[in-house]
Structure 1
Amino acid sequence: MLAVQVLGPLRVRRDGVVLALGPAGRRAVLGLLALAHGKPVTRAELVDALWGERPPPSATNVLHTHVKHLRRLLEPERGRRAPSTTIPAVDDGYALALPPDAVDVVRFRSLVARADPARAGDPHHAAELLGRALALWHGRPLADVPVLAGHPGVVTLDGERRAALARYAEVMIGAGAARDVLPALVEHAAEHALDEAMQALLVRAYTASGQRDRAFDTYNAVRRNLTEELGVGPGPELSAAYLAALEEPAGDSAAAPAKPRTPGAPVNQLPGDVAGFTGRQAELAALDRVPAAGRAGVPIVVVCGTAGVGKTALALHWAHRIRSEFPDGQLYLDLRGYDPRSPVAAEDALTRLLDGLGVTGADVPVDPDQRAARYRAELADRRVLVVLDNAAGVDQVRPLLPGTSSCLVLVTSRNSLAGLVAVHGAHRVDVDLLPVPDSVALLRALIGERVRGEPGAAAELAARCGRLPLALRVAAELAASRPGSSLAELTGELADRRRRLRVLDVGDDVRAAVRTVFSWSYQQLRPRLALAFRRLGLHPGADVTPFALAALTGRDPDEARADLESLARNHLAQPAGGGRFTVHDLLRAYAEELAGEHDPEPERTAAVERLLDHHLAAASAASDLLHPADRPYRPDVPVTLPLPFTTGDAARAWLDAERSTLVALCRFAEHDDRPRFAVDLANTLYRYLEGGHYADALTVHGCALRAARRAGEDGMLAAASTNLGALRRLLGDYDQAAGHLREAIERHRRTGDQHGAARALSNLGVVQERLGEHEEAASLHEEALALHRRSGNRYGEASALLNLGNVHSRPGHHADAVEPLERALDLFGRLDDAVGQASALSNLGDVCASLRRYPDAVRHLSRAQELFQRLDHSYGVAVTLSNLGNVHARLGDWARAHRCYTAALDGFRDIGHRYGEASALNGLGEALCLAGRPDDARAAHIDALRIATGTGDRDEQDRARAGLGVVRQRV
């Protein structure tokens, strides 16, 4: 007997056995025929659905071939010339002729029609019919046939499901059975965040089931989404649901309330106040008149003015004055808007700001819009001052604005940012040149009493500096370093230098003054310091370390550190803490100009290459300490400078500190046509970034792939596609992952790279496993295993055996998993790879538990836990604890199972591993149900379903739904 599943991934079963349908086009043809069950679909309609407006000349022949193969598959007993009874030809098309009960979409529509109030009569009977109809769904219609995602038939079905779910929810809430509809509502809400009617039903269901905390959380989340995405507030239906929740008497909630966010220590990222800050009383008074935070709208202040006029100094001085008004902290970010090499992209800025708020690793959303939403959510109800320095324009700032009036945003820019003023009501404070008295006062504060003795020369010096604070500070430092010279002599030198440079900067007095003072100070530098200053203009990152300058200059790090400190004393660089230094964007631009004038192009190129090589070599050495087994697959870059670390902990700290610089270098390599460096750096950082820095990983691997595509070299393209595909797999974006990995496999085969092909095959195998295609997954892992054996890669062989065992770790196949996992354990032991041994032991213990070999399970898992703890491997510890929870639950030791699951959840949440969190929640739900606590079990499964729906992990979605089904049966 044939059965066709359309409500979810397309499946055809004969007597319960799933048939292999073949390529995507063939699946699409069958899906379209199933959607139209019994009604003919013309060839023209099929061609249009498969190829759109540009079908290939062979479209009709391809279509005929697909139908021929489908007929053979569905009717294996039919003779070659016998007419088809399952897919008969009808006029100029085909139809699917199966009994109504054979196609799930027909059964769904029949059940919904019977549940119509006019026919069902009894609400309880209607609820039973609708529940049966909705139980037929296993995900989006034809979820694994992407070409039909926007087909009218699929869109119509989605609408029918929504209507059935809404009707079911209404009936269940009215019947006092709101809890039973929660899982379906939670799943829909996760996929349709802006569907107000369904979100209102979810709020009502939570309220009716006594979970007012969750009702309020849901309402607030929807309200924020509507405001941020559409610029509107909640409509009457959602507002009414919220008011009903408010009016509901508070009682004992049957489910534990959502855990409140635990606030960390207030963040303080403000650089120090400016020494010797002088004047600006009018500007400070204008800033003091800005409406206080907490009123309607987000308070935004724009401090604008020409380059070097002291915008940042004013903003920071005022920020320090008002910081006590923001007890939850102060964020600071230099957007480098006028840096021609690497202005900070808005999505990267959000990552850095979230990092300051304590949101790191995998908790940082990959999608930029979701990242912005998470940033606004973190700032909601917190009083934080956000300082955005050196913004280029409104588009760079707008995604960084909070969504709550409790925060204040302070922006500096050379641009007037009129869009922020007009659209967002920002308050603009214009900063002009320092008045002469204030300029002289600043010189007096920096130089001392010599200014009082030569007031005329001091005023002349201020004028020569254009009354710009940056130029005044540089000139004052030079004057202080020459106590034997009068100010008049120094002013004369400056005037003479201005005359010699007048051919430059014609028509721009401000920039001419700045350049004159810079050049005057630069001329006083010793040749070594002058070279160091010029090299700073070649660095693409936001800050520079002594090691980076040593690479740029070809000196050792101690000499470079001394050079940076000397440049800082001359106000040509600025200490930024942690042994790092920054350079004002005007000085950076001047340094780059000087490098172009004085250093031959081959020397500049060699300096940049040394900088890139240093970071690549250091990143590779850090990865060697953290992931030694992967050493043969990283680029071999000689270490030319002493490494700033010798232990694994120090290596990880270095990677954490340099991460933003490494991302900037990868962006630079992409735009500077250095694809080999971009790909090599991405390969080197893969294991570090996969540990949870997914937003940065997406940037790095995206840069590498784009650079490789421009180069058109198969080896680089294969490596970059593998990395991006593996990352997309981790993120649960399985369609994109499969596309990148299939391309990578083809290119690896073309270049003969067996290791690369095996790695891509393994990742694709994991994707197929998560999609429920276990047979294909096993085949891919076996192919990877064969490649590793052929190339003599023992570590790869062990990893492939581990993956193969994992594929078999499912109901009905656990016995098949034991042998490959035991072989993997043996190989990892011979290789002395502790992480591999622990992983194999953990998985083997889980399989033994499923086979009811509980003593073996406890022994393997306990060994795995000890190894992971010794290695400080947080993810491994969490996985092992979750697996131990499974064992203790099966043994009936509910207290120990609960402790294991709770500890595992804490571990997964700490590292941001969403799949692990969903898995542990499902395990906890299963244990709670067996322990006779169905309400708590339901809450755990609902949370797991919410997470798994967001990540796309179907196995945990199915597990959560199955758990909820068991709970319903036990209540």
Structure 2
Amino acid sequence: MGAEVFAALLRERRLSVGWSQDELAERSGVSARSISALEAGGRRPRMSSVVRLAEALGIDPDTRGRWLTAARDTDPPPSAEATPAGSPPPPQEGPTCPQQLPMAIRHFTGRTRELQLLDELLVDVTPGCGAVVISAIAGTAGVGKTTLAVHFAHRVADRFPDGQLFANLRGFDPARAPVDPADVARGFLDALGVPALRVPADPDGRLALLRSRLAGTRTLIVLDNVREAEQVRPLLPGSNSCLVVVTSRNRLPGLVALDGAVPLALDVLSPAEARELLARRLGAAAVAEQQDAADELVELCARLPLALNIAAARAADHPGTPLEVWARELRDSRARLDLLSAGDSHADVRVVLSWSYRALAPRAARLFRLLGLHPGPSIGTSAAASLAGLSVSEARALLEDLHRAHLITAPERDRYTFHDLLRAYAAERAACDESPQEQAAATLRMLDHYLHTAHHAAHLAYADDVSWQSLDLPEPAAGVTPEELADRQQALAWYREEQPVLERIVDSAHRTGADVHAWQLVGAQVPYLLKSGLWQQWQRASETALAAAERTGDLGHQAHAHRWLGQVHRSQGRLAEAQRELRLALGLFEALGDRPREGRTRLDLAIAHGEEHADAEAVAESRRALELFEALGDPSGQALALNSIGWYLAQQGLLREALPHCRRALDLARDAGNLPGQSSIWDSIGFIHHRLGEYHEALPAYHESLRLRVAVGDYFLQADIHTHLGDTHLALGDAEAARAAWTRSLAILEDLQHRDADAVRARLAGCPAPEPPR
């Protein structure tokens, strides 16, 4: 735009509002003589004069931007005409290109994905893109929001020739109130060179003037440590050539929804990024030489940048001390927060976390600290409701408050977690801010929630399975809201999702002396662990159950725990240990007069004998079990015992003798509605037909067995049936079908890391490969 065009626009606008040059001079603070010169086109406009004239004339933002664009690169020094000879020079308006960014962090590490997302915003920082471009970087305390924003701002500063503005809005400062937007505007106007006398006294005027000064400029603005969207919104420029970067511990959903901010949630560092940070601080060679200790240090610091930097600084101060020493100190969760402090409130993990905690409303703060009583690794909405004694809807609303504050994360809907340092801080707050009575009540509600939900899930999934024993439970504590599960599939899905949580809950119950709950929690999940082939989890849970039962002196509970241990040892091929545990269980059940469990333990012993290829002993033990079940009138028990007899007779080659036992077992299992039992019996029948060479009779028996196994969710035993199907397909000459069945079996066994996988691999290796198509 030339001076003549600007002159015409200025003159046209002044006349349209009916002002003389003197009136405009009075309203704008630009001398009438200068306005006369500008209207005559005698010189190009000065930036400051353009702004004041545009404000006085009420020029719309788009036109104002065009005027400023014309003035920005052609702002000459004052002319002789505007400054009479002998007069002192006019006061300067200060820097027109502020550079307020704080120093960038020397050891900045990683964040490649986040920087790429921020770089993509620059595509929109061009005329015609629409509204101002805003990025809202949100994350928990100490995660590196400011570091990322400043690092990015330095990287792109040259893209914003009109300056970079920075302000800490103190949204979570415990000592001072959040900064008012009008006060931020005053600081920015000073930095932009606006004379103090021209800054309006009223807040709205100040904010309007800031927007005017930013219009048409290419300015980068970093608003750090924002509490809420209302702190940011008045400071947003109207120019589509500016970029605003906002950081907050809150998610600022209003800024995203109403102002078009692009959200960027910042999580803890990845393991690789965390190791790189340590290497930058301590030296790559030192970290590489102590890789295990460095990895442990990374995890103990929860990969939180603030914690890692503090730990690295302590290690750097003592270069001769091995990293293992620092890791060993941090293993004590009670002392961890004490150790992660550098003697500065901004470099103290506990203090920094406390700023977010203190900003919470009282009910949200209570839920946060009660979450510290939960062992993790995650918690569902219903469990959180029980923990706090709230309704599910109340708990969901408060969890969302904590999520917005980045004190918890939500990896999926209705599921929440937080890193170990936040967990340690929450537990610390619970110990300080909750009475021992309330902590105990919350813990009881938590245990009752998982116990009653697990018991209900087991009833839905395994009511017709002899591996399940219903527990005689008292009513749950007041305020407990167990999960609402409708059917077997929902029950199995709940088990799958909660299994890592149940493992920790059992350990926590035993560790805190809630031994009855510990044993019952194991009892309520044993069928799932058994059917799913989760051997290691099953063994740990059973060992904890035995320790809890021994501490309470309950012989019945001890007998069950010994039996569970015998079953898991047998499943893992540790047959001597299996025999020992099962004999201990059998002796206790006999002493207690628990004949149903005595019979089922004898069947477990029969299987253990069979694993040792002592098939005659297996048949004898199965017959003893059958006698017990006949005396008790237990059809399900009789069906299992008859099937066991038939199976081990078949193993001895007595196939014609074996088949009637299995047929009778199937009738009893059907009458009793025992689906898992029916599946096992169909597998036995298929095996006997296969051994008799009756392959076409074997296949439908195996398919029915598999159908029932899938229906009841018995994952592990599906592998056995696939193996048997493969054997029969091969006997029929269908190598392709055999390979397909064995491949399905191997996938299950490898997933479970089961020892039977080697035998299936051998089958596949020996099976003829399919001929290529011609």
Deviation at 1:885, TM superposition (A): 3.5
Deviations 1:42-80 (A, max 9, x none): xxxxxxxxxxxxxxxxxxxxxxxxxxxxxxxxxxxxxxx
Paired residue for 1:643, among 480, 483, 487?
483
Label 1:822 to 1:900 Cα distance change in 2 as closer, same or farther (>3 A).
farther
Task: Give the Cα–Cα distance (whole angstroms) in 2 for the partners of residues 389 and 744 of structure 1.
Answer: 53
Write the distance in 2 (CA, Å) between the matches of 1:878 and 1:316. Answer: 52
**How far does the alpha carbon of each residue in 1:652-674 deviate from its partner, in whole angstroms, 9 at most, with x for none?**
33222222211111111221122
Cα 1:540–1:817 change in 2 (3 A) is: same
Aligned residue in 2 for 1:726? 567
Q: Counterparts of 1:747 and 1:316 in 2: how far apart (Å)? A: 64
Q: Does 1:832 align with 2:656?
A: no
Which of 537, 544, 563 is residue 372 of structure 2 equivalent to?
537
- Do 1:879 and 1:916's aligned partners in 2 also have CA atoms closer than 8 Å? no
- Picking from 584, 590, 597, the partner of 1:756 is 597
Asked if residue 633 in structure 1 is aligned to residue 469 in structure 2, the reply is yes
Say if 2:105 is the partner of 1:281.
yes
Alpha-carbon distance in structure 2 between the residues aligned to 1:693 and 1:468: 41
| Equivalent residue in structure 1 for 2:555, among 711, 714, 717 | 714
Structure 1: distance between partners of 2:689 and 2:346: 79
Which moved further from structure 2: 692-701 or 917-926?
Answer: 917-926
Q: Using the alignment, how far apart are the partners of 2:105 and 2:544 within structure 1? A: 47
User: 1:824-843 CA deviation, whole Å, 9 max, x = no partner?
Assistant: 21122112333322321121
Aligned to 2:653: 812
Aligned length: 487
* 1:76-115 → structure 2 map (5 Å cutoff): none
Q: Residue 601 in 1 paired to residue 436 in 2? A: yes
Give the distance between the partners of 1:760 and 1:284, measured in 2 at CA. 62
Aligned pairs for 1:428-827 (under 5 A) are 465-466=345-346, 468=348, 471=351, 475=355, 518=357, 520-521=358-359, 525-526=361-362, 528-570=363-405, 572-583=407-418, 588-589=423-424, 591-596=426-431, 599-630=434-465, 633-637=469-473, 638=475, 640-690=480-530, 691-827=532-668
Query: For the residues of structure 1 that align with 2:569 and 2:364, how far apart are their CA atoms?
Result: 46
Q: CA deviation at 1:884?
A: 3.4
Q: Which moved more, 1:792-801 or 1:670-679?
A: 792-801
Shift in alpha-carbon separation, 1:427–1:802, aligned structure 2, 3 A: same
**Counterparts of 1:687 and 1:583 in 2: how far apart (Å)?**
30
CA–CA distance in structure 2, aligned partners of residues 474 and 812 of structure 1: 73
Deviation at 1:722, TM superposition (A): 1.0
Maintained 8 Å contact 2:109/2:276:
no
* Alpha-carbon shift at residue 556 of structure 1 (Å): 1.4
The 1:711–1:919 alpha-carbon spacing in structure 2 relative to 1, beyond 3 Å, is same
Call closer, same or farther: CA 1:598–1:875 in 2, change over 3 Å.
closer
- In the alignment, is the contact (CA less than 8 A) between 1:762 and 1:800 conserved in 2? yes
* Residue pair 2:383, 2:446 contacting (<8 A) in 1 also: yes
The amino acid across from 1:701 in the alignment is: S
Alignment of 1:50-129 (within 5 A): none
How much has 1:466 moved relative to structure 2?
Answer: 4.3
How much has 1:770 moved relative to structure 2?
0.8
Does the 8 Å CA contact 2:727/2:738 hold for their aligned counterparts?
A: no
Whole-angstrom distance in 2 between the partners of 1:834 and 1:278: 70
Change (3 A) 1:473 1:718: closer
Q: Distance in 1 between matches of 2:523 and 2:514?
A: 15
Which whole-Å CA distance do the structure 1 matches of 2:719 and 2:563 have between them?
27
- In 2, the alpha carbon distance for the partners of 1:587 and 1:675 equals 28
Superposition deviation, residue 609 in structure 1: 1.3
Change (3 A) 1:872 1:387: farther
Query: Contact 2:606 / 2:621 at 8 angstroms: preserved in 1?
Result: yes
Change (3 A) 1:389 1:750: farther
CA distance in 2, matches of 1:635, 1:901: 38
Residues 912-927 of structure 1 aligned to structure 2 (within 5 Å): 912=752, 914=754, 916-921=756-761
Find the aligned partners of 2:432 and 2:746 in 1 and give their Cα distance.
57
State the distance in 2 between where 1:694 and 1:780 align: 25
Equivalences for residues 342-353 of structure 1 within 5 A: none
The amino acid of 1:539's aligned partner reads H
* Matched letter for residue 388 of structure 2: T
Structure 1 stretches lacking a partner, 5+ long: 1-276, 289-307, 322-382, 403-408, 430-462, 478-517, 938-971
- Contact 1:537–1:591 at 8 Å: present in 2 too? yes
SS in structure 1 at match of 2:108: helix
Distance in 2, matches of 1:721 and 1:400, equals: 40
Give the aligned residue type for 2:106: A
Measure the CA separation in 2 of the matches of 1:786 and 1:674. Answer: 39
Q: Hey, what's the Cα distance between the residues in 2 that align with 1:854 and 1:731?
A: 31
Q: How far is the alpha carbon of 1:752 from its aligned partner?
A: 2.1
Identical columns (%):
25
Q: Deviations over 1:709-761 (max 9, x none)?
A: 33332112111111111111111111211121111111122222223323322
Write the distance in 2 (CA, Å) between the matches of 1:795 and 1:901.
30
> For residues 722 and 315 of structure 1, what CA distance do their matches in structure 2 show?
57
**C-alpha contact (below 8 Å) 1:901/1:920 kept by paired residues:** no
RMSD of aligned residue pairs (Cα, Å): 4.7
Per the alignment, residue 105 of structure 1 pairs with: none
Letter in 2 for 1:817: A
Deviation of 1:688 (Å): 1.4
What is the CA–CA distance in structure 2 between the aligned matches of 1:787 and 1:390, rounded to whole Å?
67
Deviations 1:631-689 (A, max 9, x none): 86132445752525434333333222222211111111221122222221112111212
Determine if contact 1:885/1:923 at 8 Å carries over to the other structure. Answer: no
Q: Tell me, in whole angstroms, the C-alpha distance in 2 between the residues paired with 1:797 and 1:574.
A: 52
Tell me whether 894-903 or 668-677 shows the greater mean CA deviation. Answer: 894-903
The Cα of 1:280 is off from its aligned counterpart by 6.5
Larger Cα-atom Rg: 2
Candidates 835, 841, 856, aligned match of 2:682: 841
Contact 1:875–1:911 at 8 Å: present in 2 too? no
Which amino acid letter does the alignment assign opposite residue 612 of structure 2?
A: L
Give the Cα–Cα distance (whole angstroms) in 2 for the partners of residues 721 and 776 of structure 1: 21
Q: TM-score, normalised by structure 1?
A: 0.44
Match 2:725 to one of 857, 869, 884: 884
1:870-921 CA distances to partner (integer Å, 9 max, x unpaired)? 6675555543343233334445x25366345544544544643635534545
Contact 2:140 2:406 in 1 (8 A): no
Q: Deviations over 1:759-794 (max 9, x none)?
A: 322222211111122222222222233333334433
Deviations 1:445-499 (A, max 9, x none): xxxxxxxxxxxxxxxxxx9954557745764x6xxxxxxxxxxxxxxxxxxxxxx
Structure 1 residues 468 and 733: CA distance shift in structure 2, 3 A: same
Take 1:866 and 1:645, find their aligned partners in 2: how far apart are those partners?
23
Instruction: Name the SS of the counterpart of 1:709 in structure 2.
Output: helix
User: Does the residue aligned with 1:822 lie in a helix, a strand or coil?
Assistant: helix
Contact kept in structure 1, 2:383 and 2:481, CA below 8 Å: no
